[in-house]
Amino acid sequence: MKRIHLHVSVDNLDKSIGFYNTLFGATPSVIKTDYAKWMLDDPRVNFAISQRGSKAGLDHIGIQVESDAELLAIKTRLETAELNMLTEVGTTCCYAKSDKHWVQDPSGIAWETYHTLESAPTFNAIEPSNAIEPTNANKQSTPTAACCAPAVEKVQFISRK
């Protein structure tokens, strides 16, 4: 089963945690000094907020899967559509180690598809060896270490139909 993932950058983490606790009627499953995450079943969503210096607002949208097979099925669809994709294997982001594929929609919104492998003690620890050459590109690309979503210039929406 898949779960929608939304990540929002916030100006004030404590006030935002209070607001979302009230909105969702639930407390976060993960709380760090700069991050909180709710794994909700109604609605089924992985909702995360962080205060890490980014502009407040939507950071990225994602689809969290429960298996390598589900992640491969999504990757295959994205490749068939000939979208420029950034793949990361065993990357650490948002206090979790995951395999993931990034694309952008026509408006430039970052979409992350990922399978979480295990929790991690740090927000991110991206090493250049974890980056794989982007699909449909001839040059090697390394993800940024700022937040989870790669920089706009790293993943550009390209339709080759």
Amino acid 31: pLDDT: 97
Give me the residues of the chain with pLDDT under 50, please: 127-146, 155-161
CB atoms under 10 Å from CB of 51, counted, come to 18
CB atoms under 10 Å from CB of 120, counted, come to 17
Based on the number of CB atoms within 10 Å of its own CB, is 41 exposed (0-12), middle (13-18) or buried (19 or more)?
Answer: exposed
pLDDT per residue as tens digits for the range 111-131: 999 999 999 999 887 544 444
For residues 123 and 93, the answer to whether their CB atoms sit within 8 Å is yes
Please, what are the domains in the chain?
1-161 (3.10.180.10)
**Omega prior to 43 cis, within 30 of 0:** yes
Amino acid 116: pLDDT: 94
What token pair was written down for 38? Answer: 């709710």
CA 77 to chain centroid, in Å, comes to 18
